[in-house]
């Protein structure tokens, strides 16, 4: 996976991810924010919820069970210590009424195996490098 993130005016950013384009911004009270899109941190929380939804839906769909009523609510609490981040994420899955009780442990296992959920539990190694725009040539700008 490779994403290219570029300025979109103010503090907003435009992300090209394959054939998709996403717009991120900050809320209006944030200096430079125009609320033209969600914040990157909020999207991170939503991505965990979407991943959980996918894995629950896949289990239900594989068993030809209805998906109507399946939803995931994500509540996030932000903290600034020891650095700005989420202090807590809470996911609440609502399963369709027709979901058999015996599938609950399997759905729970599937959701816990969601890569976004796993990434939060076992953070990846993060590498950060900086270059100046003058140092970027077409051969290195892929």
80 three-state secondary structure: coil
Instruction: Please state, in angstroms and rounded to a whole number, the distance separating the CA atoms of residues 77 and 22.
Output: 24
Q: Which H or E element spans position 47?
A: helix 40-62
Question: Same domain for 22 and 87?
Answer: no
At 138 the pLDDT is 60
Domain membership flag for residue 15: yes
Q: The tokens of 136 are what? A: 């970027």
Question: Same domain for 5 and 70?
Answer: no
Domain membership flag for residue 142: no
Domain membership flag for residue 140: no
- Go through the chain and tell me how many residues it has: 142
Domain membership flag for residue 62: yes
At 134 the pLDDT is 78
Q: Is the pLDDT of residue 2 over 70?
A: yes
**pLDDT bracket for residue 65 (50, 70, 90):** very high
**pLDDT bracket for residue 133 (50, 70, 90):** confident
Domain membership flag for residue 67: yes
Answer for the pair 40, 47: CB distance below 8 angstroms, yes or no. no
Structural domain including 17 reads 1-37
Arithmetic mean of pLDDT, 61-73: 96
Arithmetic mean of pLDDT, 29-35: 92
Question: Same domain for 69 and 121?
Answer: yes
84-to-79, 80, 96 alpha-carbon distances in Å: 6, 4, 36
């Amino acid at each position: 996976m490779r994403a290219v993130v570029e300025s979109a005016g103010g503090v907003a950013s435009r992300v090209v991810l394959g054939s998709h384009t996403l717009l991120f911004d900050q809320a209006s009270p944030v200096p430079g924010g125009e609320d033209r899109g969600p914040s990157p941190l909020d999207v991170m929380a939503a991505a965990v919820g979407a991943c959980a939804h996918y894995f629950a839906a896949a289990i239900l769909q594989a068993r030809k069970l209805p998906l109507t009523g399946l939803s995931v609510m994500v509540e996030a609490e932000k903290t600034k210590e020891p650095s700005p981040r989420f202090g807590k994420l809470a996911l609440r899955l609502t399963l369709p009424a027709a979901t058999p009780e015996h599938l609950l442990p399997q759905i729970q296992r599937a959701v816990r195996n969601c890569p976004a959920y796993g990434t939060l539990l076992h953070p990846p190694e993060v590498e950060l490098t900086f270059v100046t725009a003058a140092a970027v040539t077409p051969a290195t700008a892929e």
